[in-house]
Structures are given as C-alpha cells and as structure tokens.
Structure 1
C-alpha cells in the first residue's frame, strides 16, 4: 500500500512540474514581443527600455515584536517541567506568579545536601580539635626532648669537671696510702728480722711481718694499676659515652621539632580541607535552595504576558509553551512588554545585504491589518549570519534585521506576520530594463539589441536593481528594444562600434566561435561545453540556462528528452 502511495505521489509531482513549466513558457510568450532573430524563423523575446519612476527595495517577511520588553528565562539547571503557566495575553502586576516549575527533584536533593552538610560540619569540628591536640602534644614532646638534651650536657660537664678529677685524686690517695703502708711494713720487717736473730721473737712472728710487707707491696701495685686504668681506659670510654649522649639528645630534639611541625602542618591542612569542603557543601545547599526559589517565576514589572514561542520564525519554531511542557535552562519563556512601541524582526539574505543600511525607511504591511501601511526605519543589522538558520542550512546566510515602527497602533500585536519593504532608492525619472536582459561580458554589463541580421551587443552602465528591473545609467534610451534571452554564440553577434574595446571573452558556457567558411552547427550538437558546466555553481548554471536562445533550449530538450525531463540548471543536479 505504501509503494502504491509513493508511486501516486511521484506521478502527481511530475504532472505538477510539467504544469509549472507550461505556465512559465506561456508567461514568457505573453510578456515579450516576438521578433525574428539570427537570420532564422525562430521567434526571440524582447523588451523595451522604459523611463519613469523606479523603486529599488528589498522585501522580506518578518514578525511583529515589542521594542521594549522584559525577557523572562528559565534559570533552573537542566530540564524541568512546567506545573503552572499564566495564560497568554493576561495582564499581570509586579510580583504575580507567571510560571511554576517542578521542584520535586530539587527538594530531594536539598534533603540529601543537608545531610552532607551536617557530616561535613562534624568532620570539620573533629579536624579542629585534632589540630589543638596535635599542637599540645607537640609542645610536650619538644619540652621533653629539650630537657633530655640539657641533662646530657650537664652529665658531660659533671664528669669532666667533677667525677673524673675526683677519681684521679682518689687514685693518687690510694697510691700514697699504699706506699706509706709498704714503708711501714718494710721497717717493721727489718726490726722483726733483727729481733728474731737476737731471739726476741719467734720465726712465726717474723713470717707474719714478711706477709704484711708483701701485702702492702701488692696494694701499692694495685693502686698504681687502678690509676693507670682510669686514665687510659675508663676516662676515655666514659667521656665518649657522655659526648655521644649529648649528640643523640640534640638529634632527638631536632627530630621531635620536625615531627611536631609536620604533624601540625598536616593537621592544619586537614582542617583547611574540611573547612573548604564544608563551605563547598554549604554553597551547594544554598545553590539548591536558590534553584528551588527560581522554580517560582514572578513578574518583575507590570505588563501583558506574551509567550516567547509566539511568532517565532519557521526554521526555529519550538513546541508551544503549555503546562506539562519541558523547558531547559536559559530558554526564553515569556515577554513582558513595557510600552506600545513595536518593531519588526526580519532576516535579509546576504545577496541583498549590500543594499541595506541603518536608517533606511521601511514600509510595513501586516497580514492581520489589511489596507494599512506602517512606516519605520532600519535600526539594527546583524554583524554575523543568523546561527540557527546557518545550522539548519549551511548554504543559507541571512542576517537578523530590526525595524522600528514609528506609529503606535493598538491593532498591532506581538507575533503578527508582516512584510517589510526596505526602500533603498526611489528614482523619479530613470531608464530601466528587465534584469534578465543584462549579462556580463569580460566583467562589464551589456545588453543585446535586435539588429537587421544579428543581435548587436551594446555595453551599458547600470545602477541598482529590485530583482525585477535594473536601472540603466548610460547606454540605452527610452523605447529601445533589448533581447530578454541574450545569445551565447559570439559568432552570430554583430558588435556595436562602441563595444569594440571589450575583450572578446565569452561566458564559460558559450561555444567557441567558428569561421564563416565552416559549416553551421549541427542540430544535434551540444550548444555548450558539458565539462565546463559541471564545474560551475548552481547560480552560474541557472544564469547560463537563462541566456540560451530558444533554438539552444530546444536542442537541449531533444538531447535529454529520451532519458529524463530537463531541469533548469541550479534546480538539482546538472544533466550528465
């Protein structure tokens, strides 16, 4: 069923295309005068140069909008749903509710954010108390290490200045006492020997005195050995130990100070991080609360409600605002006009942009107000092409233009469709011809005047055009006839004397000139170079097709009639 429907649609489109071509051919036949040209019997369409008032204007469709208005946008992040929407056209006062957006998700997010903030507050308090404990513990550790270092220094000084000299003195005293005891034992032994010889003491008593003398000698040797050990070994060992204790205490003090500083820095960093996190979570909570508040949009000023979707251009039309619709962040919702001043928002094609200037008068007609003309002036022309239009069609470049309407009429409403005719120039007395009769040869405009045997190429100087008529400044006079379909074959054109200085450069699609002695072009030969045609833009193809003579057009139709219906170049793909 779908295939049959598609076939019917294609047949309908084909019939419609054939009908349009027939109507165009009929209009050309009626609008022109038919003369014989190029020595053949084929009729040629001509037009006469006319003199009179000529209006040069650019007409574009547009939309009526308020000149001074307050724009209401959605400031809620992401996509939300409209729960309430004030009716369009309602008159509201400042503070009245315009739009209420769904805030259920934001309410849940607020609850979760409040829990997060409380956890962050607890972490922050814990980090703050931990810093205080770290500082106190560090001070205690440093004081303890300093005391240990001080004690080590005192022990070293005590040994060097007290204990060691005292030990040396004690050793000297022991040596001296042992020496005296040895001397007394030796004297007693000497007397005991004398007495024993005389028989006053026994042999046993003498042996006891000899043993006492040996004991005294041994004690003296031990005292001297103890002093030598004290000086050579014990003193050095004790001195090195005490010096090492002082060094170790100093290093321990330094390590303690560094560790205390590192612990404090870490505790401070943790406190700073917890504080920053707490502030960030509080900011998120405040942002969420602010987003919830923005779900209720109230009127900032008094005015009449106009939906932003009303009167949009067709290419950027979006879904009309309604309760239940989805809106995104920064989407325009409502306009609140602040006065009755109106303006027209239109878009000018890049081809007409060179004609339009700020301050030019504009004649505005509104479809809803028939028979009435409103006047205004161009107030602003966009510096860059409209982004939305360029995105939808990269080949289309239009510039947003605003027109201020001078009259304040209550019949005008925002969103009304209108036509803005920008008055570029208004000549009271000008000579003009149809734009299709003028072609460019070697970069200069020329027209072809019917001659006795051949069309005569005549250079002219032109001014502005209104897409229908072009003003002729020099080269033609009123009533002079020009060809509406200038020939492309240079060999069949007699050049006027005034045009002999123009270089003999033919348009890209023109066939090369042939000598008079060569035979005429065969009926089935191509009237132009197909390779060059494929390299041309659609605009150049359309212009070249319009310049074809009736014979060349008929030849082109015969050439492609067996394969497909010929289309005007530029209206699709060129013939292959």
Structure 2
C-alpha cells in the first residue's frame, strides 16, 4: 500500500496533535469541542486511483507523404479540414489530396532506359545458365557412358567374376550400381570443396589438389598380378579364357596330328626297309613329320606368349583405361560444376540487379500513385498527424494548399470515433496498483453529468522521459484507458477525469485519511473517549484519496479527530 496520501495529511494531523497536547485537560487526554470529528464506519470501500487526461481515438488512419523528392512535394489540392467523409465518398473514391507528381514522373522516364538494359542482361544470363546446365549434363553423361563401356570391355576380357574380384581388391566400382555410388560420393566431395572454397580457378590445372580421393593418384593397374588368375584357374567366361581354350585346342590338334604323322613315318620306315616304297617317299614323310613337330612348337609358343605376355598386357591396359575413365568422370563433373557455378553466379548477379530495378520501378510507380489520395474510410478529416506536438510543428510546414511536404510528413488523419480512450500519466506511487483490464470510471469535463465505463488497456513499462526532462524528480507512467461503447458527444482532445478501480473492499472499518498521522513509521489517531481526546495507535490497510481502512486499534463508532 502506498503511504503518499497519508503522508500528505501528516502535517495537518501533527498540527491537530499540537493543539490537542497544548490544551491538555488531564494526563494525555484533552477536551476540544471545536475539533471536527468522524465516527468510524463499517461498510464497503472502493480503492481507486484518480488521474486526469485527454480523450483520443485509439485507432486512426494517418495518411503521410510517401514521395521522395529532395525539394519537397507541393500540395495541389486538399479537402477542407473537418469534412465528414461518408461511405458514399469511399465507394466513389473521392479525392482528398492531390500532390505534384511531375518530379517523380521525370525520374521514371530516366529509369526506363536502365531498366530495359538490366532486363536484357537478366534474360541473357538466364538463357546462358540453361545452356550451360544442358551442356554440362550431356558431357557428364558421355563420360559416364565411357566408364560403363570400359568396364564392359574389362569384364568381357577377364570374365565378370574375375573382373569383379580384381576391382573389389582395388576398391573400384565393379558394376552399374557401384559406379552410381562412386559418382555420388565424388559429387559430395566436390560440393564440399566448393563450400570450402578450394575449387580450382580457370587458370589452375583441373587435376591438381583433387577434392576426391584417387583423382591425383597413380594407376593401380600396374600393381595387379594377373598371372595369379591363370595359375589358380580363376578366369571367367571371357575373351581371355576363350583365347586360351582356342590355343590349347589348336595345340592339342597339332599334337594329335604329330602323333598320326609319327605313326605314318614309322610305317614308311618299315615299308622302306622292305623296299615297298621309294626313298623319296620316305623323305616326304619325314618332311611331314618335321612340319607336324614345328606346328606343335608353334601352338605351344603361342599359348605361352599369350599367358605370359599378351594376357597380362591386355588386362592391365583395359584396367588402366577403366581407371582413367573413372578419373575423367571426376574431372568432368568438377569442371561441369565449376562452369555451372560460374553461370549461376552471373545469373544471380543479373537477377539481383533486375529485381532491384523492378523494385525501384514499382516504388517509383507507387510514389506516383500516392500523389492522389482517395477517401478510404468514413470519418472526420483532420490536418496533420494524430500525435503532432511542439517539435513536429516546428519541423513540418502547416498543411494547406500550396504547402511543401517533407517525406513522411502526416497530411491528414481520420480518427476512428467508435474506439476512444483516455491517455493518463500514473504517478510512480500508484503504478504498482495498476494492472491491465482494471475497471475505470470516466467523466469528461465538457459533459460532467455523464459517467462512462472503461478499462485499462495499456501501462508503460518505463516512466515518461519527456516528463522527467523538465522535472527529474517526477516519474509518471503513460497509460491508456479505453472507453466502453460509442458516444456521439465525445470528441478527441477533450479533457477527462479517470478513476481506476484497483480494489473493492467489503465490510471493512474505515475513517478519513485526515484522521491519520504518522510518527516514527507508526500510525495514530486521536479518539474521543468522552472525557477528551487521547492518542491511539492503529494498524491501517488499503486506502484511496479520501478514506483509509483500519485493520485494528479502534472499533466501529469510535469518534476520531480530523
């Protein structure tokens, strides 16, 4: 409970106490028939805070100058202040204000040339990005096709099973699915390098400092011992296996033919010994034997050469080709991403410039449109802003036809008369009592015979700095009390008194605040006990500007000095 009203009357109470003690009749009791009294009463006590303020519209349509012209915007036409805008005016779009738009219109003409150039550059950059994306996609698809073909060639030569075994040992993709995974991983690494700012520039070697593992490493094909596949008979049904089988078959045929020729020679020798054939015939058979032996040697040599040289050479060559195709895929994706990124950067830059120009053009057009202000809602026309003060009146020219407006200067205000409120300043001694939603009683000075209902809708968190500027010891908190209902007799700027109901005490004992005096933080009253007045300590409760609740110390009917 604030003690401010009680403290205020302390001087009066002390003066009364001096009189009582000065005219002491017996001990500490006195008899003063000329001292006014009040009989302590029990009943309901309303605790309120009384403040004065001004009525204003809680919601207003404030129309400001939106034209940005250095030399100011001239008012060509303006409707009379006090004009009542009707719903018909709103529907018919009645002109309230007309401003000079010539300067903005000239700016729009100058801006059109720049806008067209920016629009053309934007369209060109957009088309360039689409072409680059298409070209990059085609290039990556082509290289990826080369990867698949190189894998198929390797699988065709070694056989799918043997090729998978070799590729898995080198951690290289061995089918379409693993190629896709390889490409995805590579793409993620490249994207990370973009984010880290490590992508090569146009003058850099595209294979240097690769963002994907393996791009700058030596070929692994030379480290593979393909002869192991032959020794362990692990070749699949590939070209190499087929070639070996063919050479083996040819060698077997040659050996079979050699055996036949050898048997024929042995027969010829026996026939020659008996002179059944000529010497020449035997020599011919011997020549055939030599040819058969030579054929066997040739086939054996071909098989050995293929196993020892041709097979590992072709296998390593095809594996190396496959590795190179994989690296080409990485390089192509990086180059494609870099090219697309550059095109995207050019496109974003052109788009941003275009958007700024579009925004500027729309803003200029909006300024032109704002030069003609139409009726937007019914209400009373007032010149200037709803919160105009001394400082704004010195900064802005008065609103009239021919006046020059600054940017943001309020031109007219149309208050909403259906929602009115009272602005009051709550003293810091009462601010803890005030809460949102509290009921209030309002009386306008101009119509003092009418009592209005209201409620607290706004309480400032900090004190008003303007009030403290001129009186540093004064701390008041701006607050708003909304008036309930609609009242035609109320007008903005009327003064009014507001009683904010902070508490309603039922069946309490109370006396006037003038009867209380304070001494050493204790409260006392002078009670008439029939023989005179004596000082009595009391415990007080809540209070308003007139009465204070007595919690203990005196009873109902007790007469106290005022």
| TM-score normalised by the chain length of structure 1 | 0.51
Q: Report which of the two structures shows the higher radius of gyration computed on alpha carbons.
A: 1
Aligned pairs for 1:518-557 (under 5 A) are: none
Aligned to 1:4: none
Q: Could you tell me how far apart the structure 1 residues matched to 2:455 and 2:419 are?
A: 16
Q: Could you tell me how far apart the structure 1 residues matched to 2:71 and 2:514 are?
A: 54
8 A contact 1:82–1:324 mirrored in 2: yes
8 A contact 2:129–2:343 mirrored in 1: yes
SS at match of 1:301: coil
Which of 382, 391, 411 is residue 306 of structure 1 equivalent to? 382
Aligned to 1:121: 123
Q: Could you tell me how far apart the structure 1 residues matched to 2:49 and 2:113 are?
A: 59
Task: Flag the 1:300–1:268 CA change in 2: closer, same or farther, 3 A.
Answer: farther
Q: Could you tell me how far apart the structure 1 residues matched to 2:240 and 2:37 are?
A: 132
Aligned to 1:397: 477
Q: Could you tell me how far apart the structure 2 residues matched to 1:256 and 1:136 are?
A: 14
SS at match of 2:492: coil
Task: Flag the 1:274–1:403 CA change in 2: closer, same or farther, 3 A.
Answer: same
Task: Flag the 1:155–1:352 CA change in 2: closer, same or farther, 3 A.
Answer: closer
Q: Could you tell me how far apart the structure 1 residues matched to 2:152 and 2:512 are?
A: 115
Offset from partner CA, 1:471-527 (integer Å, 9 cap, x none): 779669798535xxxxxxxxxxxxxxxxxxxxxxxxxxxxxxxxxxxxxxxxxxxxx
Task: Flag the 1:174–1:155 CA change in 2: closer, same or farther, 3 A.
Answer: farther
Post-superposition offset of 1:277: 6.7
8 A contact 1:131–1:268 mirrored in 2: yes
The answer to whether structure 1 residue 164 and structure 2 residue 256 are counterparts is no
Post-superposition offset of 1:300: 1.8
Which of 235, 239, 243 is residue 311 of structure 2 equivalent to? 239
Task: Flag the 1:405–1:111 CA change in 2: closer, same or farther, 3 A.
Answer: farther
8 A contact 2:254–2:292 mirrored in 1: no
SS at match of 1:439: strand
Which of 439, 442, 450 is residue 362 of structure 1 equivalent to? 442
Task: Flag the 1:33–1:214 CA change in 2: closer, same or farther, 3 A.
Answer: closer
Post-superposition offset of 1:129: 0.8
SS at match of 2:408: strand
Post-superposition offset of 1:415: 3.4
Post-superposition offset of 1:131: 1.6
Post-superposition offset of 1:335: 3.0
CA RMSD of aligned residues (A): 6.4
SS at match of 1:35: helix
SS at match of 2:497: strand
SS at match of 1:135: helix
Task: Flag the 1:294–1:470 CA change in 2: closer, same or farther, 3 A.
Answer: farther
Q: Could you tell me how far apart the structure 1 residues matched to 2:559 and 2:390 are?
A: 44
Q: Could you tell me how far apart the structure 2 residues matched to 1:99 and 1:47 are?
A: 72
> What is the aligned residue count?
422
SS at match of 2:460: coil
Q: Could you tell me how far apart the structure 2 residues matched to 1:52 and 1:320 are?
A: 60
Q: Could you tell me how far apart the structure 2 residues matched to 1:101 and 1:47 are?
A: 76
Post-superposition offset of 1:292: 3.6
Post-superposition offset of 1:128: 0.6
Aligned pairs for 1:423-462 (under 5 A) are: 433=512, 435=514, 437-439=516-518, 445-448=523-526, 456-459=535-538
Q: Could you tell me how far apart the structure 2 residues matched to 1:313 and 1:62 are?
A: 16
8 A contact 2:382–2:414 mirrored in 1: yes
Post-superposition offset of 1:362: 1.7
Task: Flag the 1:64–1:355 CA change in 2: closer, same or farther, 3 A.
Answer: closer
The answer to whether structure 1 residue 71 and structure 2 residue 67 are counterparts is no
Aligned pairs for 1:179-194 (under 5 A) are: none
Offset from partner CA, 1:130-178 (integer Å, 9 cap, x none): 1222233333334445445555666675565357358747976998999
Q: Could you tell me how far apart the structure 1 residues matched to 2:51 and 2:395 are?
A: 25
Aligned to 2:138: 136
Q: Could you tell me how far apart the structure 2 residues matched to 1:114 and 1:407 are?
A: 57
8 A contact 1:182–1:220 mirrored in 2: no
Post-superposition offset of 1:301: 1.8
Which of 422, 430, 440 is residue 499 of structure 2 equivalent to? 422
Post-superposition offset of 1:381: 0.8
Post-superposition offset of 1:400: 2.3
Aligned pairs for 1:59-458 (under 5 A) are: 59-66=50-57, 69-72=59-62, 83-84=73-74, 86=78, 89=81, 91=83, 93-94=89-90, 95=93, 96=95, 98=97, 115-147=117-149, 150=152, 157=238, 160-161=241-242, 164-165=247-248, 168=251, 226-252=298-324, 254-255=326-327, 284-295=356-367, 296=370, 298-307=374-383, 309-310=385-386, 323-327=404-408, 334-339=412-417, 342-352=420-430, 354=433, 358-366=438-446, 372-373=447-448, 375-382=450-457, 384-385=459-460, 389=464, 393=468, 395-404=475-484, 407-409=487-489, 413-416=491-494, 418-422=495-499, 433=512, 435=514, 437-439=516-518, 445-448=523-526, 456-458=535-537
| TM-score normalised by the chain length of structure 2 | 0.52
Offset from partner CA, 1:3-40 (integer Å, 9 cap, x none): xxxxxxxxxxxxxxxxxxxxx9xx989x9797374699
SS at match of 1:161: helix
SS at match of 2:135: helix
8 A contact 2:542–2:549 mirrored in 1: yes
Task: Flag the 1:66–1:152 CA change in 2: closer, same or farther, 3 A.
Answer: closer
Offset from partner CA, 1:55-97 (integer Å, 9 cap, x none): 9864433223236x54236697999996256577253643435
Post-superposition offset of 1:341: 7.0
Task: Flag the 1:348–1:319 CA change in 2: closer, same or farther, 3 A.
Answer: farther
Q: Could you tell me how far apart the structure 2 residues matched to 1:447 and 1:182 are?
A: 159
SS at match of 2:450: strand
Post-superposition offset of 1:421: 4.0
SS at match of 1:141: helix
8 A contact 2:444–2:496 mirrored in 1: yes
Post-superposition offset of 1:126: 0.8
Aligned to 1:465: 544
SS at match of 1:335: strand
